[in-house]
Homo-oligomer: A and B are copies of this chain.
Amino acid sequence: MSTSLLAPHRSIRAFQATPVPEETVQAVLAEAQRAPTDATAQMYSLIRVRDRELRLAISRACGGLPPVEAAPEFFVVCADLARLAALLSLSGKPLGRFPAIGLHFATVDATLVAQRLMDAAEAAGLGVCPIGALVNGIEALPQLLGLPPLVVPAFGICMGFPAEDPPLRPRLPLSLVVHENRYRTPQPEELQQACQQMNPITRSGNWLAVLERYFAPAGIMEQRETPFRATLARQQLASS
């Protein structure tokens, strides 16, 4: 199966110290910005964190993120309804009350831009690594980054010239993630085979153990739930 339509993606966590030329950064950002956006509203912001002390503070707030400390470029991808509210105020209108749908559309807008940023960066010969673990420090980030209400961090992106050349990592069988007309629930034996296919993604060779660590009761995701919701509430994006 040819997959040569885009530069091959694998997350890069080790970067050369060489800075990314500013014109390359600007070209990547210009591409990112062309991502589609719902209702023309562009409900996102990217915080380009260049200050090294601030990088360290972010890393510490998240429990230690070495690529965030070391990468030549680091962006915090934010869902942003604040700029939209400011635009509406030009014509004397307030923002309506739609916290769940607002967070949905802003998270989608931000993620569309982020993936286009990563596709463009890889096309330019750069390596990237999205940082989902940024949510570990979500309660500290609004103050560290000066985020006003209606802005919330979604994840981070590290970018730079790769200092490693890892192989492509496995994915689930396409037949489990693409459905025709109706959702198809997989059989247990298909899931077992999928685990075999996914096992090499982790050093232990036991993918299910990784999933348990993140997603089972008392796992990493449960630990993230309360601070995430508290931050949504503080940033005025909570549903209740």
Using a CB–CB distance below 8 Å, which chain A residues touch chain B? 1-3, 5-6, 8-9, 11, 26-31, 33-36, 38-42, 44-51, 54, 78, 82-84, 86-88, 90-91, 93-102, 104-105, 107-108, 111-112, 114-116, 118-120, 123-124, 129-130, 132, 135, 145-148, 151, 154-155, 168-169, 171-172, 174, 176-183, 185-186, 188, 191-192, 194-195, 198, 201-202, 207-208, 210-212, 214-222, 224-225, 228-229, 232, 238-240
The reply to whether A9 and B30 contact each other, CB–CB distance below 8 Å, is no
Bound-state Cα–Cα, A239 to B226, Å:
11
Check B87–A39 contact: CB distance below 8 A. no
Residues on B with C-beta less than 8 A from A210 are: 39-40
- The distance from the CB of A101 to the nearest CB of chain B, in whole angstroms, is 5
Contact status of A90 and B188, CB under 8 A, knowing A46-B177, A174-B29 = yes
Nearest CB on B from A4, distance (A): 8
Complex Cα distance, B179 from A129, in Å, reads: 20
Q: A91, B208: Cβ atoms under 8 Å?
A: yes
Report how many copies the assembly holds: 2
Which of B48, B179, B232 is close to A100, meaning CB atoms less than 8 Å apart?
B232
| Cα distance A27–B6 in the bound complex, in angstroms | 11
A42 partner residues in chain B, CB cutoff 8 A: 171-172, 177
Contact flag A29-B171 (CB < 8 Å), given A6-B116, A112-B114, A202-B40:
no
With A and B bound together, what is the CA distance between A231 and B124 in angstroms? Answer: 41
Sample of 20 A–B contacts (CB below 8 Å): A1-B27, A6-B116, A40-B202, A41-B211, A44-B177, A47-B180, A47-B183, A84-B215, A86-B186, A86-B191, A87-B195, A88-B211, A90-B192, A93-B217, A101-B228, A104-B107, A104-B154, A104-B228, A112-B130, A239-B240
